Structure 1
Amino acid sequence: MGIIVLLSIATLLITLVKTSIRPATAFTVLAAIYLLFDLVPINTFLQGYTNSALATLVLLILISGVLEKSPLFHRMAEFLLHRSEAQSRLRIVTSSALLSAFLNNTAVVSSLLNSIMRQRHVAPSRLLIPLSYASVLGGITTLVGTSTNLVVNSFAVNAGLEEFSMFSFAWVGIPVALLCLAGILLISHFLPNHQQEITEEQSYFLTAELDKDSPMVGHDIETNQLRKLDGLFLLELERQGKLISPVHPDEVLAAGDILIFTGEITKVQTLQRFPGLSVLGERVDDLMGSNLLEAVVTSDADIANSTLQEIDFRAMFDAGVVGIRRGNKRLQGQLGRIPIRVGDCLLLAVGHDFSNNRAVDRNFHLLSERSQSAQLSLTASIIVIGGFLTTIVASGIGLLPLFKGLLLLLGICLVSGLTTTTELRNRFPFELVMVIGSALAIAYGVEHSAAAGLIADFFKEYVSSVDVYIAFISIFFLTLLLTETVTNNAAAALAFPIALSIANSFDADPTPFILAVAYGASACFLIPFGYQTHLMVFSPGRYRVSDFIQAGLPISVLYSVSVLILTPIVFPFF
């Protein structure tokens, strides 16, 4: 049975890496299989979803939704930006790291991202990777700094181990963060400078259809003056399902032609002067009166891997997609037939019901303030932020458990009207609960089956002859590899039972091994698709994957070395 359990874990990992199946689906199915074959008792299976640490994580996410509505964060972001690139970067890196130690790092990045994209003094590509990296590093310093720490804590509690305190992670996290923040400031000088470039590989990809009654029909590209547009480039032309690329100046236009452009958000209005040209089935003149905004597709988006036509995007969101941007990559084909990917930046023409749509927060990080939910007043902001900080301090000194403090604060927000049950329902992290609850059941199955014994025997035979430190290093790099290929929380869920089994095989204190999982799961610096804040900045910064690899490699090395040296010193194995 132990071999079968290990094979099931391997199958789960392959599924997460090689397929588009969501982690929530994969983990839940495997946990259900364990339940059906009596590897996990029903009571244990259900207790995984009511774990106290997991409940605390849910409350923290819901409170973060209220905090995000505070205008103080947006005002602070504008204050941080400076005409000097070095000054702006230093302020952004230090502030985002400090805020991310106590707030949800996606909320921190979202607040600063809007202001960075609106300013014109410094190229966003010079600031956004440092912003994302700093938010990750700030998160490793406290229990509430990142969901990964709370997830690992939930596994520890479920395994009968001592619960981590608010600042248990700080003894190693703070020196590691300071070292890596210094490294970020150094490597930032080598980041790309994508500043208002007008090239063939532009930021947005959009399509427009030529109406049958357009006076442009029957005339070539040169005559219709489509060659030299202000900020737009005619990339391709689709006619009756066939793609014409490149488009020659003497190509004669026909009714129903789909014109495919690349260009910037501010240059879409260039299409206004062409009669009979429609975007999203509307005349361009009418479309330009719509509310245009930018939105990044989240890592949990329901629309990911589907085309606009398949999901009927307009009906779902009361919005139409005018353009798509995917990092610095040039897309090909008709816009409506391109599968939407996590991290894509969409240019939307939104209707009146867009801001009230429940699915918006789950699918998008908005880069425009125009359609975000109503902001808190200054007084309400001070009350909420003050209440949150009081809760953190009370938990840190042992005066009030974090769960009780957050529950009390959420109740106050509901009673005072600072949030509503509808907003909380929209923000509820259903998929995260499914992943962690199912992973706790899977961890039980691994621990109480022969699988744990097989893992222990392997390390006793092949590793224990060397040193417990080698085993510690192994679990750290295993988790790091997982977090770069799947998600950080899924990586923690997969690595925790293995780490606990290894610690037990050496009769060692499990704390350093558990921390290796926590720090390893947050060591996502190389690939933008494994961490949510990286996805948020990937397309707005017009980055390539290679940009993250070049910037992240030295940070990843510095991070790994410092964690592997400091953790056993602060938390000895024996």
Structure 2
Amino acid sequence: MTTAHLVLASIALLLALLAHGRVGPAVLFAAWAGGYHLLGLASQQELLASFSNPALATLILLLLVSLALERSPLLDHLSELLLKGRVGLATLRLSVFACLISAFMNNTAVVGALLGTVTSQRRHPASKLLIPLSYASILGGITTLVGTSTNLVVNSFVIDAGLPPLQMFQFAWVGIPVALACIGVMALSSRLLPANASSEAEARSTYFLEARVAAGSPMIGRSIETNRLRNLEGLFLLEIEREGRLISPVGPAEILHTGDVLVFTGEVARVQTLQRFPGLEVFGAGADALLKSNLVEVVLASSSDLANRTLREVDFRTMFDAGVVGIRRGDRRLTGQLGRIPLRVGDSLLLAAGPDFLQHRNLDRNFHILNGSGLRPKLGRMQSVAALSGFALVILVAALGWLPLFGGLLVLLAALLGSGLLTLGELRRRFPFELLVVIGSALAIAGVVERSGAAELVAGWMRAIFDGHGVHAALAGVYLITLTLTEVITNTAAAALAFPIALGTARAFGVDPMPFVMVVAYGASAGFLIPFGYQTHLMVYSAGRYRMRDFLRAGLPVSLTYSALVLLLVPLVFPLHR
């Protein structure tokens, strides 16, 4: 078996592990890049050069600058005005606004900034608006070079391959028509989305509440009925966990034992009902402690250190001065011992926040807040104007070619640090280390795929498959491969693995590689069907109490419209033959 075949086999294994999701992309990509280096397929210089790619450095700077921009109150104020009127019009206005902002800001930051406003408003069920918000943030990202990290990742591969770098508005000629058409489809198909909990009280009732019978409690040895646990105000005793055994349903004659975990459902805000039961602890604290604290709902962020770890492992209460009252994943309420459940990105957590909760500096890295006070102070009016104007100026001078985007962002970052709008502490906490590892490693892996002959081998297969159907069919094939990868794994990984195939296929057919490069960029952002492959989908998944089928129903018309227009417009805007 040749080196090319071995490399392809290892890439297939990498894809399988990424799709499985048990191990994070950063760990897998770093392991593969390191493995290729140890096997002599990538030299030390080639490996290190992947992490110093100019486009990758520009992406890191852009994400750091956006930490200040996402604190602007502009998004909150405008989004409240946009949600007036019928749900179809509200969807249209919100989508257009999110699309415009996402063209120049990171789409994760846009969705994070609007998430709390959309979930707390009373005009429309949040579930009617959150999927369109996530889709619109993607659609805005495909219109400019800086709109999404995917475009900058593709640009890093372009530069690494020795091709001319992509320009600021090169994506717009295809991206804008595609975005407008898809937003129209979303507005017309808003009725396909469910009308889930539209109020905070209803949303909170979808959680479970756990209470533990402490040693020495007078409730021990007495039945459920004797303890008056049957007809509680707003709460229902659903099950008891005793020494790893689940008792459900709970009969009135069931006797309570020391250490029993009582699982209630209903209105979690009615926790004060448990105050009258002596020796009953709510997640490690007496009910009195919860009554003195605020119930805050948050979504676990993609940058969180808590992902794939349990509450018990991280000592959540000490780490955040908050107890977890309930966990929701999509429309499912998680029960059992919450402290032993591995958390996932996108999980909604209902927290009983203590007085020092807002003082913890790691909040903005770990959570997107849905209700309650903001985790970080918003910029003042003049600060907001200064930050946004500075960013607009950087984009303008870069588009006009007066100053490279990297240089402009570097100057802006220095100005934000000098003015105090950003601090070194914030940069340390929010530095996108995992993204740096993934993209740097992906560049090294792509180089190995290219140099080993694996990309040429796949390109030969593509040529054999599509030879009788023409180069347009091959272009569609590369797009569909990228789209499938981005639905199953992540957009960054999809771009990394599809790019060498696209470049090799273009060379095999003897055509300009730019159309193939662009379909990889657009295809890597075409994740509309499955919520687990895209960060913004995970952010809205639990907040909107969605099911998988909700994304399929709402996403299929958008995906079909998006794909048809991309495949129609790319060869027209970027000719295959020059």
Q: Which interval holds the TM-score relative to the shorter structure?
A: over 0.9
Say which of 29, 41, 46 aligns to 1:44.
Answer: 46
Unaligned runs of 5+ in 1: none
1:524 deviation in Å?
0.8
Q: Tell me, yes or no, if the aligned pair for 2:363 and 2:375 is still in contact at 8 Å.
A: no
Residue 372 (structure 2) pairs with residue 365 (structure 1): no
1:377-427 Cα offsets, whole Å, 9 max, x none, are 111011001111111122222222211111111110100111100101111
Say which of 472, 475, 478 aligns to 2:478.
Answer: 475
Residue 445 (structure 2) pairs with residue 442 (structure 1): yes
Q: Tell me, yes or no, if the aligned pair for 1:202 and 1:328 is still in contact at 8 Å.
A: no
- Between stretches 206-215 and 195-204, larger displacement belongs to 195-204
Q: Tell me, yes or no, if the aligned pair for 2:19 and 2:489 is still in contact at 8 Å.
A: yes
Q: Tell me, yes or no, if the aligned pair for 1:216 and 1:253 is still in contact at 8 Å.
A: yes
1:106 deviation in Å?
1.4
Mapped partners of 1:232, 1:58: distance in 2: 48
| 2:378 alignment partner in structure 1 | 375
- Between stretches 301-310 and 410-419, larger displacement belongs to 301-310
Q: Tell me, yes or no, if the aligned pair for 1:89 and 1:185 is still in contact at 8 Å.
A: yes
| 2:137 alignment partner in structure 1 | 135
Say which of 236, 241, 247 aligns to 1:238.
Answer: 241
Residue 493 (structure 2) pairs with residue 465 (structure 1): no
- Between stretches 72-81 and 225-234, larger displacement belongs to 225-234
For residues 171-320 of structure 1, the aligned pairs below 5 Å read 171-195=173-197, 202-264=205-267, 266-320=269-323
1:161-206 Cα offsets, whole Å, 9 max, x none, are 1111111111000000111001101111121111359999952123
1:143-171 Cα offsets, whole Å, 9 max, x none, are 11111111111110111111111111110
Letter in 1 for 2:109: A
Unaligned runs of 5+ in 2: none
Change over 3 Å in CA distance of 1:556–1:200 after alignment to 2: closer
1:234 deviation in Å?
2.4
| 1:156 alignment partner in structure 2 | 158
Mapped partners of 1:228, 1:540: distance in 2: 30
Change over 3 Å in CA distance of 1:327–1:7 after alignment to 2: same
- Between stretches 230-239 and 63-72, larger displacement belongs to 230-239
Say which of 406, 410, 420 aligns to 2:409.
Answer: 406
1:300 deviation in Å?
3.9
Q: Tell me, yes or no, if the aligned pair for 1:201 and 1:328 is still in contact at 8 Å.
A: no
Q: Tell me, yes or no, if the aligned pair for 1:265 and 1:347 is still in contact at 8 Å.
A: no
Q: Tell me, yes or no, if the aligned pair for 1:201 and 1:330 is still in contact at 8 Å.
A: no
Q: How many residues align?
A: 574
| 1:168 alignment partner in structure 2 | 170
1:295 deviation in Å?
1.6
Letter in 2 for 1:547: D
Mapped partners of 2:233, 2:159: distance in 1: 60
1:344-378 Cα offsets, whole Å, 9 max, x none, are 11112334554454543333222235251222111
1:547 deviation in Å?
0.9
Mapped partners of 1:264, 1:82: distance in 2: 29
- Between stretches 371-380 and 153-162, larger displacement belongs to 371-380
Q: Tell me, yes or no, if the aligned pair for 2:237 and 2:262 is still in contact at 8 Å.
A: yes
- Between stretches 341-350 and 417-426, larger displacement belongs to 341-350
Give me the TM-score of the superposition, normalised by structure 1: 0.95
**3-state SS in 1 of match to 2:332:** coil
Letter in 2 for 1:253: L
Q: Tell me, yes or no, if the aligned pair for 1:200 and 1:262 is still in contact at 8 Å.
A: no
Say which of 69, 76, 79 aligns to 1:77.
Answer: 79
Letter in 2 for 1:179: A
Change over 3 Å in CA distance of 1:127–1:108 after alignment to 2: same
| 1:61 alignment partner in structure 2 | 63
- Between stretches 224-233 and 538-547, larger displacement belongs to 224-233
1:107 deviation in Å?
1.5
Q: Tell me, yes or no, if the aligned pair for 1:203 and 1:542 is still in contact at 8 Å.
A: no
- Between stretches 203-212 and 9-18, larger displacement belongs to 203-212
- Between stretches 466-475 and 194-203, larger displacement belongs to 194-203
1:225 deviation in Å?
4.5
1:512 deviation in Å?
1.0
| 2:348 alignment partner in structure 1 | 345
RMSD: 2.1
Identity of aligned residues (%): 55
